[in-house]
Amino acid sequence: MDERIRVAFLNALKVKLKKTDLPILINVFWGEYVIPCTPEGSPIDIKQSSFKGVRKFLEGMEEKKVVRVEEPSPGVHQIVSFDKSVQEVSRHKVDQAIRDQIAASSSSSSSSAKEVTNTAAPPLSASSYTTSASPDEKKSLVVELFGAPQSLQPLFLELGHEKRHLYTKKEVVDHLWAYASKHKLGNKGNCKLDELLAKALFKKGQEPPEELPKKDLADLFLSKMTNFHEVNRGGLSDIRKGPVKPVVITLEQRQGGRKHVTRITGLESFAVPAKELADELRQQCAASTSVKKIEGKVGGEEVMVQGLAVRQAGDHLVKKYEVPRKYIQNVDKSKAKKKGK
């Protein structure tokens, strides 16, 4: 499988990817460039390879100076340059069957790639982080995850975990109690603090208590972990650093209060395709809609609906795109403070 992936990647680099396509999100590159360059009868599956993820594979190619990948914002990776003069690329020969295959689909593939890049939400991509989230948790659109900061890594390493492993809230607490049990720190409803816990949980100069109630210790321990979250959509998943950011639906007045406009931002947090949402709301609200990129925000797009559409937009995001209601924030900037329909 590793060799199949390498061949498909080199095929894409030699005959399909162009300088004008850069920068390109790694999952757009993989889906629209590498997969179509796979020899017929030799399908590839990155998860069945030793790499386990696209980002991990590309890290190896970065080491060989074949490509350069940047992370303009947490969890968003894009190829910004490539070098065909590197020996591994220059010596690679692309089968004529692949060239014919690409030539036959080049026009449709090209337009499709541009549509995904320009109008869709940021494609979900593989990550170099690992998780042990259950299949049921993977079915959720968003899974809150936690990473161990340097001060707490010794605890997790002692329990046999890797540095770049991420945990669900339950796993974090379970590992805390496993560590406490191993070191015999439990004391009925309280838990003693050993040197590692005391240093990690309290700042220099603070006097840590000898023990804490278990609930207080668990809450404090979680607060010291680094926030991540995983977004799952369409069979793909993307792990992003930081807490989950909400979708914001803002109602504004126009023309002295005679007209209103509804703005929807933050769709990239849940991989909601902005153009698709705009088309659907145009039909539902019988109003004109538009999509524009948010300057300075990678993958960020805003959907604007002419008129009062706060309620319709929120309901549609919940029903169609399964965005949890708690992650939808309504902001009323209209002077009249009218409720969105």
Tell me which residue range forms the domain holding 173: 130-228
State whether 115 and 140 are in the same domain: no
Count of alpha carbons within 13 angstroms of residue 143, beta-carbon side: 24
Of 91, 119, 147, the residue that ends a domain is 119
Question: And the tokens for 15?
Answer: 């005959």
Same domain, 61 and 144: no
SS (H, E, C) 198-267: HHHHCCCCCCCCCEEEHHHHHHHHHHHCEEEEEEEECCEEEEEECCCCCEEEEEEEEHHHCEEEEEEECH
**Residue 230, pLDDT score:** 86
Do both 115 and 10 map to the same domain?
yes
Is residue 118's pLDDT more than 50? no
Strand-strand pairing, 259-265 and 301-306: antiparallel
> Over 280-319, what HEC string results?
HHHHHHCCCEEEEECCCCCCCEEEEEECCCHHHHHHHHHH
pLDDT of 123 > 50? The answer is no
Residue 338 lies in a domain: no
Residue 124 lies in a domain: no
- Please give the pLDDT value at position 134: 54
Predicted pLDDT at 29: 83
Task: For residues 170 and 201, state if they share a domain.
Answer: yes
Helix (H) or strand (E) holding 10: helix 2-15
Q: Is residue 41 part of a domain?
A: yes
Asked if residue 141 and residue 115 are part of one domain, the reply reads no
223 and 254 share a domain?
no
CATH code of the domain in which 188 resides: 1.10.245.10
Give the HSE-up count for residue 56: Cα atoms under 13 Å, Cβ half-sphere: 16
Cα–Cα distances in Å, from 221 out to 154, 296, 319?
14, 34, 35
Same structural domain, 171 and 256 = no
Q: Are residues 96 and 55 in the same domain?
A: yes
Phi, psi for 273 (deg, rounded to 5): -70, 120
User: Which CATH number characterizes residue 82's domain?
Assistant: 1.10.10
Rounded mean pLDDT of 6-20?
A: 88
Give domain status of residue 316, yes or no: yes
Model confidence at 226, in pLDDT bands (50, 70, 90)? Answer: very high
Transcribe 133-185 into DSSP letters: --HHHHTSSEEEEEE--TTTHHHHHHTT--TTEEE-HHHHHHHHHHHHHHTT-
Q: For residues 97 and 139, state if they share a domain.
A: no
- Please, which pLDDT band fits residue 104 given cuts at 50, 70 and 90? low
- Comparing 82-91, 123-132, 208-217, 270-279, the range with the smallest average pLDDT is 123-132
Share of the chain above pLDDT 70, in %: 83
Residue in 214, 220, 215 with CA at minimum distance from that of residue 190: 214
Given 73, 100, 119, the domain boundary residue is 119
Pairwise CA distance, residues 39 & 45, whole Å: 13
Mean of the per-residue pLDDT values of the chain:
82
* Domain stops at, among 119, 142, 175: 119
- DSSP three-state, residue 322: coil
259 within a domain of the structure (yes/no): yes
- pLDDT tens-place string over residues 31-49: 778 888 887 777 888 878 8
Does the residue 337 lie in any domain? Answer: no
Does residue 185 contact residue 132 with C-beta atoms inside 8 Å? no
- Give the residue from 334, 267, 256, 331 showing the smallest Cα distance to 297: 267
Tell me the average pLDDT across 5-33: 85
Chain-centroid distance, C-alpha 338: 35
Residue 241 phi, psi (nearest 5): -80, 145
Query: Is the same domain home to 186 and 273?
Result: no
Same domain for 7 and 112?
yes
Out of 33-42, 62-71, 215-224, 287-296, which region has the weakest mean confidence (pLDDT)? 33-42
Predicted local confidence at residue 111, as pLDDT: 39
Q: Cβ(228)–Cβ(166) under 8 Å?
A: yes
Instruction: Please answer whether residues 25 and 117 qualify as being in contact, where contact means their C-beta atoms are separated by less than 8 angstroms.
Output: yes
**Same domain flag for 62 and 9:** yes
Would you say residue 234 lies in a domain? no
Domain count within the chain: 3
Residue 240 lies in a domain: no
Phi, then psi, of 109 in degrees rounded to 5: -65, -40
